[in-house]
Amino acid sequence: MELHSVVIVEDHNLLSQAIAGLVNSFNKFTVLYTCKNGKDLLTKLKTPTNIPEIILMDVNMPILNGIETTEILKNEYPNLKVLALSVEENETTIIKMLKAGAKGYLLKDVEKEILETALIETITHGYYHTKDVSNILINSLNEGNKGNVKLKEREIEFLKNVCSEMTYKQIAEKMFLSPKTIDGYRDNLFQKLEVKNRIGLVLYAIKNGIFKI
């Protein structure tokens, strides 16, 4: 019987190797190789023999995160099936990942049997969703249009600076802008992100991986 090839993208080495061991123990699957981040993966994929059937992708990674990477893969390798694997239970993250084209989203506390099932289902039916994730998704449907807030480069830079002990005046200096412009950025983001104050911005930035603790 032919083994299905899997590639693991995960920045933490030990986890990467441990998960690889697990996948190799499943009798229909084999790990082709592992990558430390999205950039690594894209480089590897340029060699045609390096293209697997399934990619197990962590969401929180440095350099090129799971969401961005999956989005690129959707366009450049549409036949590649991406399964997200993350500790992140945040609705907006899950939605972003699925919108980016992931075929499923596994939380890192699933049983290993579920991982095997997910891999098999993804090969045979093209997707797999756990009840956990489905529930989170259904709940978030009622909350309307989350997950499709588009932030500009400068706004992201601003948000990162907001997650510090600087005053807005200091942020303005650092970004070479007038304090009044910063006021505008802030007020805009309050609306866009539906938050009331700076604390809300900080929490949003951290939840969405814009600022890493």
> Where on the chain is the footprint of DNA (CB under 7 A)?
152, 154, 167-169, 177-181, 183-184, 186-187, 190, 196-199
Q: Which residues bind to a copy of itself, rule: CB under 8 A?
A: 11-15, 17-19, 21-22, 25, 85, 87, 90, 106-112, 115, 162-165, 167, 195-200, 202-203, 206-207, 213
Nearer to a copy of itself, 134 or 167 (CB): 167
Nearer to DNA, 112 or 169 (CB): 169
* Strand extents, DSSP E, the chain: 4-9, 29-35, 54-58, 81-86, 104-107
The entry of a copy of itself, DNA, none near residue 25 (CB within 5 to 8 angstroms by kind) is a copy of itself
Residue 180, C-beta contacts closer than 8 angstroms, at least 6 positions apart: none
**Residues linked to residue 56 through DSSP beta bridges, in sequence order:** 8, 83
The entry of a copy of itself, DNA, none near residue 17 (CB within 5 to 8 angstroms by kind) is a copy of itself
Nearer to DNA, 123 or 203 (CB): 203
The entry of a copy of itself, DNA, none near residue 45 (CB within 5 to 8 angstroms by kind) is none
The entry of DNA, a copy of itself, none near residue 19 (CB within 5 to 8 angstroms by kind) is a copy of itself
Nearer to DNA, 110 or 175 (CB): 175
CA distance 53 to 171: 46
Span between the terminal Cα atoms of the chain, in Å: 46
> 101-116 burial, b if ≥16 CB within 10 A, otherwise e?
bbbbbbbeeeeeeebb
Q: In the complex, what is the shortest distance from the CB of residue 108 to a copy of itself, in angstroms, rounded to a whole number?
A: 4
Residue located via tokens 């690889």: 20
Tokens matching residue 178: 């007038």
Q: Using DSSP, state whether 6 is helix, strand or coil.
A: strand
Nearer to DNA, 21 or 179 (CB): 179
Q: In the complex, what is the shortest distance from the CB of residue 213 to a copy of itself, in angstroms, rounded to a whole number?
A: 6
Q: In the complex, what is the shortest distance from the CB of residue 14 to DNA, in angstroms, rounded to a whole number?
A: 39
CA distance 33 to 6: 8
